[in-house]
Structure formats: structure tokens, C-alpha cells
Amino acid sequence: SCSADGVEIGGGLEELPEHLAHQVRVYNEQMKEQAQTYRKQLAEMQDVISARRAEVRQLLTQLPVGDDPEAPFYWMEADWLQSWAQDVTPPSCIDTTSLVCAHGNADPAHVARMKRVSTTAWRQLSELYPPKGPP
């Protein structure tokens, strides 16, 4: 038979010996509980995903530096930004260590892996994901 919770085993329980009918009822209850747990976890995960999408959308509007060549900005690793924007679970911290030279400045040899971001975006991201390495 079918129920609102999904497929239920035991269309003809009255035809089974009592010990088997009892076992089928136990399995049905376990399946209902597992389905309920799954639906709860699914709803929680959907809430997490919705919150992440909202966070990403809001911060993406802050990323561009603008057209002013004198506007202040920060360098970030492009792969980190991509991972941050696409993954449900964001990276734990901003890691810029691979972008700097021995003097602690942006390494021109790695410019292809860098992305300029606005100071507003940097502040927001660095509050959420404390930086590892120089800004």
C-alpha cells in the first residue's frame, strides 16, 4: 500500500503470521522515521544553501574595484574566489600566501592567478574568512 510518507510494505499483513506482520510493522515505522529525518535534514540543507547563495550574491556586487585606476584594492587568489562562490561549504580562510614574493608584496609572477577586489569586499570577506597571509 502507499502512504503520504512514501511506499509502505505490508499490503496483506492479515495474511502473514503474527510475528512476520509485527516485523513488517516495525520496519514500516523505522522507514517512516528515516524518511522524516531525511526530510528534516533536506530542509536544513536547503536553508544553508539559500543563505550561502544570498551571501555570495550580496558580496559579488561588492567585488568590482571600479574604473578608477587610483582606487584602492586588494589582491585575492582567483581560485579561492571561485571556490568561495561555487561551493556550498566555503573555504575556512582566505589564503594569499601563494601570491606574495619573499618581501611580502604581490608577486608579479602570479598575476594570472590574482583577482583585484574592492576594499569593501575585502573587509567583508576577511571578517567572514580570516586571512592567512598578507592582504
Chain centroid to Cα 49, Å, comes to: 6
Neighbours of 88 (CB within 10 A): 9
The pTM assigned to this predicted structure is 0.67
- C-alpha torsion sign, points 54, 56, 62, 66: negative
Mean pLDDT of the chain: 88
Helix (H) or strand (E) holding 76: strand 73-77
Q: 3-class DSSP state for residue 98?
A: helix
Percent of the chain exceeding pLDDT 70 equals 92
pLDDT of residue 47: 94
C-alpha cell, 108: 608579479
Burial (Cβ within 10 Å: 0-12, 13-18, ≥19) of residue 90? middle
